[in-house]
A and B are shown apart, each in its own frame.
Chain A
Amino acid sequence: MALKKVKGSIDRIFDKNLQDLVRGIRNHKDDEAKYISTCIDEIKQELKQENISVKANAVCKLTYLQMLGYDISWAAFNIVEVMSSSKFTYKRMGYLAASQSFHDGTDVIMLTTNQIRKDLNSPNQYDTGVALTGLSCFVTPDLSRDLANDIMTLMSHTKPYIRKKAVLIMYKVFLKYPESLRPAFPRLKEKLDDPDPGVQSAAVNVICELARRNPKNYLSLAPLFFKLMTSSTNNWVLIKIIKLFGALTPLEPRLGKKLIEPLTNLIHSTSAMSLLYECVNTVIAGRTVSGSSGLCVGLSVCASLCVRLCFSLSPSVKYLGLLAMSKILKTHPKSVQSHKDLILQCLDDKDESIRLRALDLLYGMVSKKNLMEIVKKLMLHVDKAEGTTYRDELLTKIIDICSQSNYQYITNFEWYISILVELTRLEGTRHGHLIASQMLDVAVRVKAIRGFAVSQMALLLDSAPLLSGNMQRKGICEVLYAAAWICGEFSEYLEDPVQTLEAMLRPKVSTLPGHIQAVYVQNAAKLFAAVLRNGQQGSQEGAAVQETIQLLTDQLPIFVQSADLEVQERASCFLQLVKYIQKLQQKDVDVGEEVTALFAGELNPVAPKAQKKVPVPEGLDLDAWINDPPSEPESEDEKSKSAFAEEEPQQPRQRHREVDEKELARRREERKQEQANNPFYIKGSTPAPKGYQDTMGVEHIPVVQIDLSVPLKVPGMATSDKYVKIEEERRKRDRAEKGKKKEKKKKREKRSRGDRRNESGPESEEDIRPAQTVDIVTEEMPENALPSDDEDRDPNDPYREAVVATSKSTTEEPADPGQGSDTEDAVSSFPLRCFPDVLLGPLGVTARDLPAMHFMPQKSSKHKKKKQKKEKEEKEKKKKKQHRVPNQEEEESVQNGTVEEEEDPLPVCDVQGNLQDSSRVVVSVIFENKSSSFLKSMEFNVLDSLNAKLQRPEGAGPHDSLSVPFQLPPGVSNEARFVFSVQSIVMPQKLKGTLTFIVKSDDGSSHEKLDFKLHFTCTSYLTTTPCYSDAYAKLLESADMKGSSARLQGVGLPFQHLLAKICFHHHFSVVEKINSCASLYSRSIQGHHICLLVKYTDQTVTIDAKCDESSLLGNLLDEIKLTFSQS
């Protein structure tokens, strides 16, 4: 027996132990795998032996091999054997091996339950400890269920060593077997008061982790933890408690208030950074969710603390400071934004992860004021950056920062374009397509920048070989895609299309990727069209056209041979077109226009939310099936049939649309109005009156002279720095100008609201207006789209509050003169619209054309539908003096024209006029049969004057009457239109006329006659035309405007109503309105400009008027006076 024991020991000495194995592996570096496979074979032999120590040694070696990545799952049963050894050494080894290699899928775990229970209840605390430790790693739901009770008993073990392990492992048990939580919780709570700090901390740990998963259930423990927090000095415990409170405060706002004191105390007293950081996190978290009260006091402390962290020398602490700042930024951008310089400094940090954090922060910190500075700094970093990943990250961040919220912070788009061009110099970046899409986006949406963009793109194309020379720069050549498209699409801005065309047709282009070549070919065609267009102007250009055709016929064959199908197809099409044009040119046929027509039409971007804006029509359920879902898959035929049927109803509708152009025009008009009313809608400038349009705004653009004749070496010739300087100067100038304007204001009481807002001295955020008349071009919106509102904003947008904060002042409520005028029926019954240009936000319009209010009186009469088709409208009124219908408002008597009628009880007529061009007036007459008899054979006749003539069908004599093409049953009304030609519009006039008709009653029929007068007032010839204040100012200065003035006394109306009335009755639109002073504009059908300056003081209205036709003006003023005297 003794001998056997000795023999076993000696055997064991010759076995490899763990140290031998490790040394062996280190000695067999070359054939490690082979060595290990022999070792595993040995281990397999050892495991077959009876001797437990041999087995334990083998398991130990296996555990080591497992760490090296070898599979030992085959030895699971042997591990269980070693675990169940009575010797602590082997048991310990066994449990270690099990904890390292067992997982939920290990089937032998089932066999261990009893062994583990035995160990848990072992009198030796280390046996128990080892079992608990092992169990914590491989506990399964089954084991939890079976052992929960034993572990719960251990929580009250006499030894704290066991208690704390038992408490901690309960957390794992709860996770695997949640039913155990309820019975165990009271005991767990008890452990918070355990005399041993280790057990206490373990209990805090477990409850904290539980509370993070489901905070609601642990609110009742808050007082207990509060006590613990104020009494405990153990940082480990404190951190856990504070974390727990971080989870609880969102649910109980009062808690936040209570916490603020101990937390600030801790922040000020502790030297442990980890505790400090936890406090900051909790304050931020509590603030984020609870909102108003609670931890807001602590926030400023936190912000300054974060700054302190950022100044730390240790990169880790710095990183955490930035991390915490970004959390604050989400809710309180203001408190972080002041530390911009610090963040910028962090960009210089050696550590990439710190720089990336700082970049993230910058995204939320930019404003109009600091955007250029920040981007300039970032551009420097782009140049310095060594790693491409970081550089790419910078690039995307720059673009993100600039383009965020619809380019909200960009004040100078020339600068932005030049930044983009500079970015194209980056080699090997993956983000060529990103830059390209930005170029396209800006060029399409910012109209004013197109000229500049095209010039830059042309240069970019010129340097194209530089870009395409190296295949490694593949990513960046995407930019050429954008460049070619912009040059082609906006070729009218191109100074030298021929040169650009040459650049686009270089043989080297054929090395570009196919899709770019395709764009090249297509846009070469557009450029060719531009060349042809220019070619019509003179013989010199004619020669250029010949040269261009030659160039195209020479170069295009390269593309025709392209392997890319798309390029090939486009090129051959284009080549044929060129050849055909050449033929036509030889025959001296002018083809410029036809070719241009190929590319006519402007592309407008569609607003991203367009679809969302369309209200769902009543009764339409979008979720409902249009056709019942096919019940069985076999009905394949049926399905296709139903799909066809679905399309069917659309076709007639489309046809209908095509036919009804008027309807289309009406809708367009409606849509324009809708857009104008939409404060979030970024729209283009409304067309100003002809003749003034082109002078508007353009000269205010600080034009940067770029010497195109000198080709620069680098493609991005115009450096962004230049624009930074220009922009600064511009802002300075602006401020100076504003100062001047303010003085002027006293003299001229016409000032836009925008200027008044800027009265405060120092330059504020809002003061910075965009450099150019940079309008983001109208995005197409669906008709009957709903006015946009805040719903646009993503509520999850972390920077939402920041955006709201900065844009608030730009979205002030417009002063809508049309609203609230309910005292006056006539006015209020018409939806008065104003164009709140000022609402367009930072990008919409320049300061100069700020609050241009235009009234667009809409006829809300029953004939609304027909009326709206006409762009120029005039309304005339024909009434029967004696039989005024009670529901007709008093105000209608002051309509521009009246038709006086002699006595006759039968028809009531409503005459409405339409002006279509400079010499024709369309008068709509509404015939209403108020009698109880049937009317027929109506004939309408007017006695022509020298000035105005009724247009009669050809062949009819000058005195013939026109028959009205309908009959009138009793109580029915209908409308007929008559066209008049008018020569002079400066004088009002009345035309006499007669209406003859047959009255058919029960006792026979009689012939009746009705005399009336058609009153053409001067107002009738005016059309409501919007005008911008700068164009308006120009108009006033022009020499051929003659002045006149009128005074109205005793006007009791509020000023707004007064304006509304003038606008409505006399077809004016408000240009500017300040307090009780407004400027109005209108235009006659023959192109006379009428400007009014209306001042209102103490029921007295002074109207100073200017017009280039004094008699028209005089008559007009008389009519206005009449309007107010009648009311």
Chain B
Amino acid sequence: MQFMLLFSRQGKLRLQKWYVPLSDKEKKKITRELVQTVLARKPKMCCFLEWRDLKIVYKRYASLYFCCAIEDQDNELITLEIIHRYVELLDKYFGSVCELDIIFNFEKAYFILDEFLLGGEAQETSKKNVLKAIEQADLLQEASVCLHAGFPPSVLSESFLCSLDIAGVFRRVKLD
């Protein structure tokens, strides 16, 4: 996989992960171009398109588009599976994930992605293992934050999870 982009229906980038080294300028150009192309496609269309010498695999979940670029010989369907797996992971982690979860906890979304994919290849195919690794890293993190700042761990995590509970706005589409 060359890169993965998450963007909203409005074309706002929510997450980007590049597995090939590119300059910022190039990244911006590609992002802009792809967002436009993918948003222009109608809902019933197939999830693949050929773009430059790459294949783009994208899928829309609620208001978010997940978009991956793969090479010519790569398997489109397994990429679709990767996207789906990532959404499931987010869902499990946040509990009914919505766009705002990803906006406000974008670093968490990155951490999950990094546990799941490494260098563009799937590193862990077991959902359980990924979540376990994240939880443990989080525990470690919260312990160190609380130790440092003097807050009990529960206060922090609960407070912002509550403030984000506006899931009614975004209906999660059942994964098919």
> Roughly how many angstroms separate A161 CA and B129 CA in the complex, as a whole number?
9
Q: Which of A67, A161, A352 touches B15 (beta carbons < 8 Å)?
A: A67
Residue picked from A89, A130, A138, A318, most chain B C-beta under 10 Å: A89
> Roughly how many angstroms separate A319 CA and B77 CA in the complex, as a whole number?
11
B119 contact set on A, CB distance < 8 A: 136-137, 168-169, 171-172
Contact of A370 with B by CB under 8 A: no
Contact of A451 with B by CB under 8 A: no
| Least distance between B100 CB and chain A CB atoms (Å) | 9
The digit string for A131-164, where 1 denotes a CB below 8 A from any CB of B, is 0110011100000000000000000000001001
Q: Which of B14, B78, B115 touches A239 (beta carbons < 8 Å)?
A: B78
Q: Which of A179-211 contact B (CB under 8 A)?
A: 197-198, 201-202, 205-206, 209
- A236 contacts B125, C-beta separation under 8 Å: yes
The digit string for A508-535, where 1 denotes a CB below 8 A from any CB of B, is 0000000000000000000000000000
| Least distance between A202 CB and chain B CB atoms (Å) | 6
Q: With A161-B133, A168-B121, A318-B46 in contact, do A63 and B107 touch (Cβ < 8 Å)?
A: yes
Chain B: CB-nearest residue to A95: B114
- B78 contacts A236, C-beta separation under 8 Å: yes
Interface residues of B, count at CB 8 A: 56
Contact of A1048 with B by CB under 8 A: no
Q: Which of B48-98 contact A (CB under 8 A)?
A: 48-49, 73, 75-78, 80-81
Contact of B21 with A by CB under 8 A: yes
> Roughly how many angstroms separate A351 CA and B122 CA in the complex, as a whole number?
30
Q: With A168-B121, A239-B78 in contact, do A105 and B13 touch (Cβ < 8 Å)?
A: no
Q: With A169-B118, A274-B81, A351-B46 in contact, do A53 and B125 touch (Cβ < 8 Å)?
A: no
Contact of B45 with A by CB under 8 A: yes
B145 contact set on A, CB distance < 8 A: 89
B77 contact set on A, CB distance < 8 A: 273-274, 277-278, 316, 320
- B144 contacts A89, C-beta separation under 8 Å: yes
Q: With A18-B104, A236-B122, A316-B46 in contact, do A88 and B73 touch (Cβ < 8 Å)?
A: no
Chain A: CB-nearest residue to B6: A67
- B73 contacts A278, C-beta separation under 8 Å: no
A161 contact set on B, CB distance < 8 A: 133
> Roughly how many angstroms separate A455 CA and B43 CA in the complex, as a whole number?
48
Contact of B170 with A by CB under 8 A: no
The digit string for B108-136, where 1 denotes a CB below 8 A from any CB of A, is 00110011001101111110010001001
Contact of A64 with B by CB under 8 A: yes
Q: With A136-B118, A138-B21 in contact, do A92 and B46 touch (Cβ < 8 Å)?
A: no
B47 contact set on A, CB distance < 8 A: 315-316
Contact of A103 with B by CB under 8 A: yes
Which of under 10, 10 to 19, 20 to 34, or 35 or more describes the interface residues of A? Answer: 35 or more
Contact of A645 with B by CB under 8 A: no
The digit string for A79-113, where 1 denotes a CB below 8 A from any CB of B, is 00000000111001100100110011100000000
- B124 contacts A164, C-beta separation under 8 Å: yes
> Roughly how many angstroms separate A197 CA and B129 CA in the complex, as a whole number?
11
Chain B: CB-nearest residue to A208: B121
> Roughly how many angstroms separate A68 CA and B45 CA in the complex, as a whole number?
28
Contact of A867 with B by CB under 8 A: no
Contact of A234 with B by CB under 8 A: yes
> Roughly how many angstroms separate A19 CA and B159 CA in the complex, as a whole number?
12
Contact of B23 with A by CB under 8 A: yes
- B133 contacts A129, C-beta separation under 8 Å: yes
Q: Which of B18, B22, B45, B81 touches A353 (beta carbons < 8 Å)?
A: B45
- B122 contacts A205, C-beta separation under 8 Å: yes
| Least distance between A740 CB and chain B CB atoms (Å) | 53
- B104 contacts A353, C-beta separation under 8 Å: no
Contact of A649 with B by CB under 8 A: no
- A171 contacts B121, C-beta separation under 8 Å: yes
> Roughly how many angstroms separate A138 CA and B19 CA in the complex, as a whole number?
9
The digit string for B5-46, where 1 denotes a CB below 8 A from any CB of A, is 000000001111111011110001000000000000010111
> Roughly how many angstroms separate A138 CA and B149 CA in the complex, as a whole number?
31
> Roughly how many angstroms separate A10 CA and B81 CA in the complex, as a whole number?
46
Q: With A89-B145, A129-B133 in contact, do A202 and B44 touch (Cβ < 8 Å)?
A: no
- B144 contacts A87, C-beta separation under 8 Å: yes
The digit string for B150-164, where 1 denotes a CB below 8 A from any CB of A, is 100000000010010
- B122 contacts A354, C-beta separation under 8 Å: no
- B123 contacts A164, C-beta separation under 8 Å: yes
> Roughly how many angstroms separate A88 CA and B49 CA in the complex, as a whole number?
41
Contact of A9 with B by CB under 8 A: yes
| Least distance between B140 CB and chain A CB atoms (Å) | 5
Chain B: CB-nearest residue to A164: B123
> Roughly how many angstroms separate A130 CA and B118 CA in the complex, as a whole number?
11
> Roughly how many angstroms separate A201 CA and B129 CA in the complex, as a whole number?
14
> Roughly how many angstroms separate A314 CA and B124 CA in the complex, as a whole number?
28
Chain A: CB-nearest residue to B73: A212
| Least distance between A174 CB and chain B CB atoms (Å) | 11
- B111 contacts A202, C-beta separation under 8 Å: no
Q: With A60-B107, A88-B141, A316-B80 in contact, do A353 and B75 touch (Cβ < 8 Å)?
A: no
B13 contact set on A, CB distance < 8 A: 67-69
Q: Which of A93, A129, A132, A353 touches B48 (beta carbons < 8 Å)?
A: A353
Contact of A1067 with B by CB under 8 A: no
> Roughly how many angstroms separate A601 CA and B145 CA in the complex, as a whole number?
93
- A69 contacts B28, C-beta separation under 8 Å: yes
> Roughly how many angstroms separate A126 CA and B143 CA in the complex, as a whole number?
14
> Roughly how many angstroms separate A67 CA and B129 CA in the complex, as a whole number?
28
Listed by A's residue number, 24 A-B pairs whose Cβ atoms lie within 8 Å are A18-B106, A53-B149, A63-B106, A67-B13, A69-B28, A73-B24, A88-B137, A89-B142, A92-B137, A96-B107, A96-B110, A103-B22, A133-B115, A136-B19, A136-B118, A164-B123, A165-B123, A168-B121, A171-B119, A171-B121, A239-B75, A315-B47, A320-B77, A353-B49
List B residues at the A interface (Cβ < 8 Å): 13-19, 21-24, 28, 42, 44-49, 73, 75-78, 80-81, 103-104, 106-107, 110-111, 114-115, 118-119, 121-126, 129, 133, 136-137, 140-142, 144-145, 148-150, 160, 163
Q: A18-B107, A351-B42 are in contact. List 14 more A-B contacts (CB 8 A).
A: A6-B150, A18-B106, A87-B144, A103-B22, A126-B137, A138-B21, A161-B133, A164-B123, A198-B129, A201-B122, A239-B75, A243-B73, A314-B46, A315-B47
In the complex, the 4 A-B pairs of residues with the closest C-beta atoms, listed nearest first: A274-B77, A315-B46, A319-B46, A136-B119
